Amino acid sequence: MTLAKVLARARAGMDLEREEIITLLETADPEERSQIYETAEALTLYYLGPEVHLRGLVEFSNYCTRNCNYCGLRADNHRLNRYRMTSEEIVAVAEQIELMGLKTIVLQSGEDYWYTLEMMTRIIQEIKQKTNLAITLSLGEREFTELKAWKEVGADRYLLKHETVNPDIFAEIKPDSSYEHRLGILDQLSQLGYQVGSGGMIALPGQSLTDLADDLLFIRTNKIGMAGFGPFIPHGDTPYRGYPSGSGELSLLMLAVARIVLRQVHLPATTALETLLQDGRRRALEVGANVIMPNFTPLEYRKLYEIYPNKAQTSLDEVREVILSLGRIVGTDSGDVLI
Protein backbone atom coordinates (compact mmCIF):
# COMPACT_ATOMS: atom_id res chain seq x y z
CA MET A 1 0.00 0.00 0.00
CA THR A 2 1.28 3.49 -0.81
CA LEU A 3 2.06 6.04 1.86
CA ALA A 4 -0.76 8.27 0.61
CA LYS A 5 -3.28 5.47 1.10
CA VAL A 6 -2.01 4.65 4.58
CA LEU A 7 -2.29 8.30 5.61
CA ALA A 8 -5.74 8.59 4.06
CA ARG A 9 -6.90 5.57 6.07
CA ALA A 10 -5.47 7.11 9.24
CA ARG A 11 -7.22 10.42 8.55
CA ALA A 12 -10.46 8.49 8.07
CA GLY A 13 -10.09 7.15 11.62
CA MET A 14 -9.26 3.58 10.68
CA ASP A 15 -7.04 1.28 12.76
CA LEU A 16 -3.80 0.80 10.82
CA GLU A 17 -2.53 -2.71 10.23
CA ARG A 18 0.94 -3.86 11.27
CA GLU A 19 2.27 -3.66 7.69
CA GLU A 20 0.95 -0.13 7.32
CA ILE A 21 2.67 0.95 10.52
CA ILE A 22 5.93 -0.54 9.26
CA THR A 23 5.48 1.37 5.97
CA LEU A 24 5.26 4.61 7.96
CA LEU A 25 8.31 3.79 10.06
CA GLU A 26 10.36 2.85 6.98
CA THR A 27 9.72 6.17 5.29
CA ALA A 28 13.06 7.85 4.64
CA ASP A 29 12.28 10.44 1.98
CA PRO A 30 12.12 13.92 3.61
CA GLU A 31 9.10 14.98 1.56
CA GLU A 32 7.21 11.83 2.52
CA ARG A 33 8.19 12.24 6.15
CA SER A 34 6.73 15.76 6.00
CA GLN A 35 3.43 14.25 4.91
CA ILE A 36 3.51 11.94 7.94
CA TYR A 37 4.28 14.87 10.22
CA GLU A 38 1.44 16.95 8.77
CA THR A 39 -0.99 14.09 9.28
CA ALA A 40 0.19 13.58 12.86
CA GLU A 41 -0.24 17.26 13.63
CA ALA A 42 -3.73 17.33 12.12
CA LEU A 43 -4.76 14.26 14.12
CA THR A 44 -3.36 15.73 17.33
CA LEU A 45 -5.50 18.82 16.93
CA TYR A 46 -8.53 16.78 15.87
CA TYR A 47 -8.42 14.29 18.76
CA LEU A 48 -6.92 16.39 21.53
CA GLY A 49 -7.30 20.04 20.57
CA PRO A 50 -4.57 22.63 21.08
CA GLU A 51 -4.00 21.86 24.78
CA VAL A 52 -0.56 20.77 25.94
CA HIS A 53 -0.60 19.32 29.45
CA LEU A 54 2.26 20.09 31.82
CA ARG A 55 3.19 17.48 34.43
CA GLY A 56 5.61 18.54 37.15
CA LEU A 57 8.31 15.88 37.49
CA VAL A 58 10.02 15.15 40.81
CA GLU A 59 12.82 12.58 40.68
CA PHE A 60 12.91 11.95 44.39
CA SER A 61 15.43 9.09 44.68
CA ASN A 62 18.17 7.82 42.39
CA TYR A 63 18.68 4.59 44.37
CA CYS A 64 17.72 1.48 42.45
CA THR A 65 17.88 -2.21 43.29
CA ARG A 66 18.01 -3.25 39.63
CA ASN A 67 20.73 -3.48 37.05
CA CYS A 68 19.24 -2.54 33.70
CA ASN A 69 22.13 -2.57 31.27
CA TYR A 70 21.35 0.82 29.71
CA CYS A 71 20.68 2.86 32.83
CA GLY A 72 23.01 5.10 34.80
CA LEU A 73 20.99 4.52 37.98
CA ARG A 74 21.70 0.76 37.95
CA ALA A 75 22.69 -0.59 41.36
CA ASP A 76 26.19 -1.57 40.23
CA ASN A 77 27.06 1.95 39.09
CA HIS A 78 29.14 2.89 42.12
CA ARG A 79 30.40 6.08 40.50
CA LEU A 80 27.01 7.73 40.98
CA ASN A 81 26.37 9.75 44.14
CA ARG A 82 23.01 8.64 45.51
CA TYR A 83 20.30 10.80 47.11
CA ARG A 84 16.88 10.39 48.63
CA MET A 85 14.48 13.27 49.21
CA THR A 86 12.61 13.35 52.49
CA SER A 87 8.82 13.24 52.63
CA GLU A 88 8.86 16.90 53.66
CA GLU A 89 10.99 17.86 50.65
CA ILE A 90 8.71 15.96 48.27
CA VAL A 91 5.54 17.54 49.63
CA ALA A 92 7.13 21.01 49.52
CA VAL A 93 7.93 20.52 45.83
CA ALA A 94 4.34 19.40 45.23
CA GLU A 95 3.10 22.65 46.72
CA GLN A 96 5.52 24.57 44.53
CA ILE A 97 4.28 22.73 41.43
CA GLU A 98 0.70 23.71 42.22
CA LEU A 99 1.75 27.28 42.90
CA MET A 100 3.28 27.41 39.41
CA GLY A 101 -0.11 26.53 37.95
CA LEU A 102 0.45 22.87 37.04
CA LYS A 103 -2.25 20.28 37.62
CA THR A 104 -0.26 17.05 37.90
CA ILE A 105 2.78 15.87 39.83
CA VAL A 106 4.83 12.90 38.65
CA LEU A 107 6.66 11.16 41.50
CA GLN A 108 9.52 9.20 39.95
CA SER A 109 12.38 7.19 41.43
CA GLY A 110 14.56 4.20 40.82
CA GLU A 111 13.15 0.98 42.22
CA ASP A 112 13.83 1.99 45.79
CA TYR A 113 12.13 -0.03 48.54
CA TRP A 114 13.46 2.33 51.21
CA TYR A 115 10.21 4.14 50.44
CA THR A 116 7.88 1.59 52.00
CA LEU A 117 4.18 1.09 51.41
CA GLU A 118 3.45 3.17 54.51
CA MET A 119 5.86 5.96 53.64
CA MET A 120 4.57 6.41 50.09
CA THR A 121 1.01 6.22 51.41
CA ARG A 122 1.72 9.12 53.77
CA ILE A 123 3.36 11.16 51.01
CA ILE A 124 0.40 10.63 48.66
CA GLN A 125 -2.10 11.46 51.41
CA GLU A 126 -0.27 14.63 52.35
CA ILE A 127 -0.01 15.84 48.75
CA LYS A 128 -3.72 15.17 48.30
CA GLN A 129 -4.53 17.05 51.51
CA LYS A 130 -2.40 20.07 50.68
CA THR A 131 -2.98 20.36 46.92
CA ASN A 132 -5.47 19.57 44.17
CA LEU A 133 -2.82 17.91 42.04
CA ALA A 134 -3.40 14.68 40.17
CA ILE A 135 -0.68 12.23 41.22
CA THR A 136 1.24 10.05 38.80
CA LEU A 137 3.55 7.42 40.26
CA SER A 138 6.58 6.05 38.43
CA LEU A 139 8.28 3.79 40.96
CA GLY A 140 9.03 0.65 38.97
CA GLU A 141 7.78 -2.85 39.62
CA ARG A 142 6.13 -2.57 43.02
CA GLU A 143 3.97 -5.16 44.78
CA PHE A 144 0.23 -5.48 44.17
CA THR A 145 -0.53 -4.61 47.82
CA GLU A 146 1.46 -1.39 47.45
CA LEU A 147 -0.17 -0.40 44.17
CA LYS A 148 -3.59 -1.09 45.69
CA ALA A 149 -2.93 0.90 48.85
CA TRP A 150 -1.60 3.90 46.91
CA LYS A 151 -4.60 3.89 44.57
CA GLU A 152 -6.93 3.79 47.57
CA VAL A 153 -5.39 6.92 49.09
CA GLY A 154 -5.60 8.91 45.90
CA ALA A 155 -2.85 8.09 43.39
CA ASP A 156 -4.39 8.65 39.97
CA ARG A 157 -1.91 7.31 37.42
CA TYR A 158 1.05 5.00 37.12
CA LEU A 159 3.83 4.97 34.55
CA LEU A 160 5.61 1.70 33.87
CA LYS A 161 7.34 1.47 30.52
CA HIS A 162 7.25 -1.93 28.87
CA GLU A 163 10.52 -0.77 27.18
CA THR A 164 10.21 -3.22 24.27
CA VAL A 165 7.78 -5.95 23.30
CA ASN A 166 10.63 -8.01 21.90
CA PRO A 167 11.16 -10.50 24.77
CA ASP A 168 14.74 -11.33 23.70
CA ILE A 169 15.79 -7.69 23.75
CA PHE A 170 13.92 -7.19 27.02
CA ALA A 171 15.91 -10.02 28.58
CA GLU A 172 19.15 -8.43 27.32
CA ILE A 173 18.45 -4.92 28.55
CA LYS A 174 16.80 -5.86 31.85
CA PRO A 175 18.59 -9.03 32.95
CA ASP A 176 17.07 -9.05 36.43
CA SER A 177 13.47 -8.37 35.37
CA SER A 178 10.87 -10.68 33.89
CA TYR A 179 9.01 -9.59 30.79
CA GLU A 180 5.87 -11.51 31.79
CA HIS A 181 5.94 -10.12 35.31
CA ARG A 182 6.21 -6.56 34.04
CA LEU A 183 3.29 -6.99 31.67
CA GLY A 184 1.36 -8.58 34.55
CA ILE A 185 1.87 -5.42 36.60
CA LEU A 186 0.50 -3.31 33.76
CA ASP A 187 -2.62 -5.48 33.89
CA GLN A 188 -2.86 -5.10 37.66
CA LEU A 189 -2.63 -1.33 37.33
CA SER A 190 -5.55 -1.28 34.91
CA GLN A 191 -7.60 -3.55 37.17
CA LEU A 192 -6.93 -1.28 40.13
CA GLY A 193 -8.32 1.68 38.20
CA TYR A 194 -5.10 3.57 37.55
CA GLN A 195 -4.74 5.60 34.39
CA VAL A 196 -1.86 3.64 32.95
CA GLY A 197 1.15 4.90 31.02
CA SER A 198 3.75 2.80 29.31
CA GLY A 199 6.17 3.12 26.40
CA GLY A 200 9.64 2.20 25.38
CA MET A 201 13.01 3.00 23.94
CA ILE A 202 13.94 3.54 20.33
CA ALA A 203 17.10 2.13 18.72
CA LEU A 204 17.99 -0.42 21.37
CA PRO A 205 20.75 -2.83 20.29
CA GLY A 206 19.18 -5.40 17.96
CA GLN A 207 15.82 -3.62 17.72
CA SER A 208 14.07 -3.46 14.33
CA LEU A 209 11.40 -1.17 12.91
CA THR A 210 9.05 -4.15 13.14
CA ASP A 211 9.70 -4.23 16.89
CA LEU A 212 8.74 -0.55 17.08
CA ALA A 213 5.54 -1.21 15.15
CA ASP A 214 4.75 -3.98 17.64
CA ASP A 215 5.41 -1.57 20.52
CA LEU A 216 2.69 0.70 19.16
CA LEU A 217 0.30 -2.21 18.66
CA PHE A 218 0.96 -3.27 22.25
CA ILE A 219 -0.15 0.15 23.51
CA ARG A 220 -3.24 0.14 21.29
CA THR A 221 -4.27 -3.45 22.09
CA ASN A 222 -3.93 -2.96 25.82
CA LYS A 223 -5.81 0.34 25.77
CA ILE A 224 -2.98 2.18 27.50
CA GLY A 225 -3.75 5.88 27.83
CA MET A 226 -0.26 7.41 27.93
CA ALA A 227 2.86 6.34 26.04
CA GLY A 228 6.39 7.72 26.14
CA PHE A 229 8.89 6.69 23.48
CA GLY A 230 12.38 8.14 23.70
CA PRO A 231 15.68 7.36 22.00
CA PHE A 232 18.21 5.05 23.64
CA ILE A 233 21.20 7.14 24.77
CA PRO A 234 24.21 5.21 26.08
CA HIS A 235 25.61 6.02 29.51
CA GLY A 236 29.38 5.79 30.03
CA ASP A 237 29.09 3.93 33.34
CA THR A 238 26.93 1.07 32.07
CA PRO A 239 27.61 -2.11 30.07
CA TYR A 240 25.95 -0.42 27.06
CA ARG A 241 28.51 2.41 26.95
CA GLY A 242 29.81 1.33 23.53
CA TYR A 243 26.50 1.14 21.68
CA PRO A 244 25.45 3.93 19.32
CA SER A 245 22.87 6.46 20.40
CA GLY A 246 19.40 6.37 18.87
CA SER A 247 18.66 8.83 16.12
CA GLY A 248 16.71 11.98 16.93
CA GLU A 249 15.05 11.92 13.50
CA LEU A 250 13.87 8.32 13.89
CA SER A 251 12.54 9.19 17.35
CA LEU A 252 10.61 12.10 15.89
CA LEU A 253 9.17 9.83 13.20
CA MET A 254 8.21 7.26 15.85
CA LEU A 255 6.36 9.98 17.78
CA ALA A 256 4.44 11.05 14.69
CA VAL A 257 3.57 7.44 13.83
CA ALA A 258 2.52 6.89 17.45
CA ARG A 259 0.06 9.77 17.14
CA ILE A 260 -1.29 8.39 13.86
CA VAL A 261 -1.70 4.86 15.26
CA LEU A 262 -2.75 5.67 18.84
CA ARG A 263 -4.94 8.72 18.16
CA GLN A 264 -6.01 10.21 21.54
CA VAL A 265 -3.32 8.58 23.71
CA HIS A 266 -1.29 11.17 25.63
CA LEU A 267 2.23 11.39 24.16
CA PRO A 268 4.98 13.39 25.87
CA ALA A 269 7.74 15.34 24.19
CA THR A 270 10.49 13.36 25.90
CA THR A 271 13.56 14.92 27.45
CA ALA A 272 15.67 12.29 25.67
CA LEU A 273 14.48 13.61 22.31
CA GLU A 274 15.24 17.17 23.38
CA THR A 275 18.70 15.96 24.40
CA LEU A 276 19.42 14.45 20.96
CA LEU A 277 17.71 16.86 18.63
CA GLN A 278 18.11 20.60 18.47
CA ASP A 279 14.75 22.20 19.14
CA GLY A 280 13.47 18.68 19.86
CA ARG A 281 10.68 19.79 22.17
CA ARG A 282 9.21 22.20 19.64
CA ARG A 283 9.48 19.66 16.86
CA ALA A 284 7.87 16.99 19.04
CA LEU A 285 4.88 19.27 19.68
CA GLU A 286 4.60 19.82 15.94
CA VAL A 287 4.34 16.10 15.16
CA GLY A 288 2.09 14.70 17.84
CA ALA A 289 3.21 15.39 21.40
CA ASN A 290 0.60 16.87 23.76
CA VAL A 291 2.38 16.50 27.11
CA ILE A 292 5.54 18.04 28.56
CA MET A 293 7.01 17.13 31.92
CA PRO A 294 8.97 20.13 33.27
CA ASN A 295 11.51 19.05 35.84
CA PHE A 296 10.95 20.27 39.43
CA THR A 297 13.59 18.08 41.05
CA PRO A 298 15.65 20.38 43.30
CA LEU A 299 18.79 21.46 41.48
CA GLU A 300 21.20 19.80 43.91
CA TYR A 301 19.67 16.40 43.04
CA ARG A 302 18.71 16.89 39.42
CA LYS A 303 22.14 16.27 37.91
CA LEU A 304 22.37 13.01 39.88
CA TYR A 305 19.27 11.50 38.29
CA GLU A 306 21.31 10.40 35.34
CA ILE A 307 19.64 7.54 33.48
CA TYR A 308 21.57 8.84 30.44
CA PRO A 309 24.12 11.69 30.27
CA ASN A 310 23.75 15.38 29.33
CA LYS A 311 20.01 15.50 29.92
CA ALA A 312 18.41 18.58 28.35
CA GLN A 313 17.12 21.20 30.79
CA THR A 314 14.34 23.60 29.91
CA SER A 315 12.72 26.10 32.22
CA LEU A 316 8.98 26.30 32.74
CA ASP A 317 8.95 29.74 31.09
CA GLU A 318 10.69 28.37 27.99
CA VAL A 319 8.22 25.50 27.81
CA ARG A 320 5.24 27.86 28.01
CA GLU A 321 6.81 30.12 25.39
CA VAL A 322 7.29 27.25 22.94
CA ILE A 323 3.69 26.08 23.42
CA LEU A 324 2.25 29.54 22.79
CA SER A 325 4.55 30.26 19.84
CA LEU A 326 3.09 27.21 18.11
CA GLY A 327 -0.46 28.49 18.55
CA ARG A 328 -1.16 25.83 21.19
CA ILE A 329 -2.39 26.49 24.72
CA VAL A 330 -1.38 25.21 28.14
CA GLY A 331 -3.96 22.74 29.44
CA THR A 332 -6.02 24.10 32.30
CA ASP A 333 -7.31 20.81 33.68
CA SER A 334 -5.43 17.76 34.91
CA GLY A 335 -5.45 16.17 31.45
CA ASP A 336 -6.84 12.75 32.33
CA VAL A 337 -6.43 9.93 29.84
CA LEU A 338 -9.13 9.72 27.20
CA ILE A 339 -9.32 5.99 26.49
**Nearest CB to ligand SF4, comparing residues 168 and 333:** 168
Q: Cβ neighbours of residue 182 under 8 Å, at least 6 residues apart?
A: 141, 160, 162, 170
Only one of the segments 66-74, 215-223, 227-235, 297-305 lies at the binding site for ligand SF4 (rule: CB under 6 A); that segment is: 66-74
CA distance 285 to 324: 11
Decide if residue 197 touches ligand SF4 (CB under 6 A).
no
Only one of the segments 64-72, 189-197, 223-231, 324-332 lies at the binding site for ligand SF4 (rule: CB under 6 A); that segment is: 64-72
Give the DSSP H/E element, type plus range, for residue 167.
helix 167-173
284: buried, middle or exposed (CB in 10 Å: 19+, 13-18, 0-12)? buried
**Nearest CB to ligand SF4, comparing residues 53 and 142:** 142
Closest residue by Cα to residue 292 from 269, 310, 325 = 269
Decide if residue 199 touches ligand SF4 (CB under 6 A).
no
State the binding string over 294-323 for ligand SF4 (x if CB under 6 A, else -): -------------x----------------
Cα diameter, the chain: 57
Tell me how far, at minimum, the Cβ of 175 lies from ligand SF4, in Å: 10
Which residue among 54, 64, 134, 255 contacts ligand SF4 (CB under 6 A)? 64
Tell me how far, at minimum, the Cβ of 57 lies from ligand SF4, in Å: 14
Instruction: Give how many residues touch ligand SF4 by CB under 6 A.
Output: 10
Only one of the segments 31-39, 52-60, 68-76, 255-263 lies at the binding site for ligand SF4 (rule: CB under 6 A); that segment is: 68-76
Footprint of ligand SF4 on residues 130-189 (CB under 6 A)? Answer: 140
**Nearest CB to ligand SF4, comparing residues 71 and 227:** 71
**Nearest CB to ligand SF4, comparing residues 72 and 331:** 72
Footprint of ligand SF4 on residues 41-60 (CB under 6 A)? Answer: none
CA distance 82 to 112: 11
Only one of the segments 69-77, 152-160, 185-193, 205-213 lies at the binding site for ligand SF4 (rule: CB under 6 A); that segment is: 69-77
CA distance 60 to 263: 32
CA distance 18 to 72: 33
Q: Cβ neighbours of residue 185 under 8 Å, at least 6 residues apart?
A: 141, 142, 147, 160
Tell me how far, at minimum, the Cβ of 173 lies from ligand SF4, in Å: 9
Only one of the segments 63-71, 87-95, 228-236, 252-260 lies at the binding site for ligand SF4 (rule: CB under 6 A); that segment is: 63-71
**Nearest CB to ligand SF4, comparing residues 19 and 76:** 76
**Adjacent-strand bridge partners of 157:** 136, 195
Decide if residue 66 touches ligand SF4 (CB under 6 A).
yes
Only one of the segments 61-69, 123-131, 205-213, 285-293 lies at the binding site for ligand SF4 (rule: CB under 6 A); that segment is: 61-69
Q: Which DSSP symbol is given to 244? A: P
**Nearest CB to ligand SF4, comparing residues 47 and 83:** 83
Residue/partner pairs of 170-178 with CB below 8 Å, 24 or more apart:
172/69, 172/205, 172/206, 173/68, 173/69, 173/70, 173/201, 173/204, 173/205, 173/240, 174/66, 174/68, 174/69, 175/67, 175/68, 175/69, 176/66, 176/67, 177/66, 177/68, 177/141
Tell me how far, at minimum, the Cβ of 92 lies from ligand SF4, in Å: 24
Decide if residue 74 touches ligand SF4 (CB under 6 A).
yes
CB 268, CB 294: distance < 8 Å: no
Footprint of ligand SF4 on residues 89-118 (CB under 6 A)? Answer: 110-111
CA distance 145 to 160: 16
| Contact positions vs ligand SF4 (CB under 6 A) | 64, 66, 68, 71, 73-74, 110-111, 140, 307
